[in-house]
Amino acid sequence: MDFSLSDEQKLLTDSVQRFVRQQYEFEKWRALAKSEEGFSRENWAQMAELGWFGISFPEEVGGLGGSPVDTMLMLEEMGKGNVLEPFVSTVAVCGTLLAKAGSDAQKEEVLAGIIEGRHIVALAHAEAQARYNLADVTTEAKADGDGFSISGKKIVVFDAPAADKLVVLARTAGGQRDEDGLSLFLIDRDMDGVERRDYRTIDNRRASEITFSGAKVGKDALVGPKDGALPFLEEAVDHGIAAICAEAVGAMQHLQQQTVEYAKTRKQFGVPIGSFQVLQHRMVDMMIHAEETKSLAMLATLKLDADAQERGRAASAAKAQLSKAGRYVGQQAVQIHGGMGMTDELDIGHYFKHLMALETRFGDGDHHLKRFGALS
């Protein structure tokens, strides 16, 4: 198979690399991470102007008609800069949901708004008891007149503090773990009956716990079929997994490169520590882990248009690999740098923390090994 990039993909990669160099020098990153929102609205507008949000969406919904590989290339470069903007939540996950299952009105208003940079959207699906099971849902959407009344609690809603819209998973029929009877709703984040508790995550992103107390929505808020939303959610989450795996590859490549450069200059016993064979072996292993993750991230990306079983197996394989490799690469980078590897003044620890956060997002390694086996 030919993995060489097209001229357009090379230009896209160069564009993202230039953006990262200009906007994500480490001191700028630290300032953004400590800011109230945790990212830059100016950067978000620039990314929209460059057309990045519409790359992989069809032209009929305002996109550029590219492929998921284009998104993978962008996220790998963003991972090298530890980019803070909510691209995965808004574009890769919620954008995919709206493109696959949204009504014409939702596509014309919200999806078009995502592509143009006007909307930031977060997915509220996880619950405390679910342990990564997408179908384990206690939040209820009960019929209420011509619409629904939503009540329940969602945890770890990534990027909700900055979002103006939420896509909420709720049960409209069936028991707590039934795969049927689930529905998705597109709602305003600050509507009546919605209460947030915002917090900073370990990797300096933002997330929320959200409580719904009889939040009333109309039938037009439904995303996809009533009682049949799970397949669409699973597809969107697999898109999210492919996206964060690509992002993790970029982060691991950065850690490996920085560690090699440090080992060339840091001296112990009068010689560079990079001359010690045991550290050379560790740094080679870091590279191998990153390359293995890149291969599986590419496979997960290429399988996004396959049937649900094949797509799910590829996504779970990539996520299980990320969970193992991200931890290894991060640990070795910190150990070779020594105590300074975890200081706030050096970027190594911040990349490691981000890899640890990505390890559990959309399911940890154990969960995806089980899912891979179940889909075999």
The 3-state secondary structure of 49-78 reads HCCHHHCCCCHHHCCCCCCHHHHHHHHHHH
Q: Provide the angle, in degrees to the nearest 10, between the axes of the packed helices 68-81 and 230-265.
A: 40
Q: Give CATH superfamily name and number for 122-228.
A: Butyryl-CoA Dehydrogenase, subunit A, domain 2 (2.40.110.10)
Cα distance between residue 289 and residue 20, in whole Å: 24
What is the structure's pLDDT at 339?
84
Cβ atoms 210, 160 nearer than 8 A = yes
pTM greater than the 0.75 cutoff: yes
- List, for the chain, all residue ranges whose pLDDT scores fall below the cut of 50: none
CA atoms within 13 A on the CB side of 171: 20
Residue range(s) of every CATH 2.40.110.10 domain in the chain: 122-228
Cα distance between residue 88 and residue 77, in whole Å: 14
Cα distance between residue 29 and residue 347, in whole Å: 9
Residue range(s) of every CATH 1.10.540.10 domain in the chain: 7-120
Question: Using one digit for the tens of pLDDT, what is the confidence trace for 63-84?
Answer: 999 999 999 999 999 999 999 9
Question: Which fold does the domain 7-120 belong to in CATH?
Answer: Butyryl-Coa Dehydrogenase, subunit A; domain 1 (1.10.540)
Cβ-based neighbour number of residue 375 at 10 Å: 16
What is the structure's pLDDT at 166?
98
What is the structure's pLDDT at 340?
85
Cβ atoms 247, 84 nearer than 8 A = no
Question: Using one digit for the tens of pLDDT, what is the confidence trace for 218-229?
Answer: 999 999 999 999
What is the structure's pLDDT at 2?
66
CA–chain centroid gap for 87, Å, is: 7
Q: Which helix (H) or strand (E) holds 194?
A: strand 194-200
What is the structure's pLDDT at 1?
61
Question: Which fold does the domain 231-374 belong to in CATH?
Answer: Butyryl-CoA Dehydrogenase, subunit A; domain 3 (1.20.140)
Phi, psi of 35 (to 5 degrees): -75, 170
Residue range(s) of every CATH 1.20.140.10 domain in the chain: 231-374
Is the C-alpha dihedral spanning 283, 286, 292, 293 positive or negative? negative
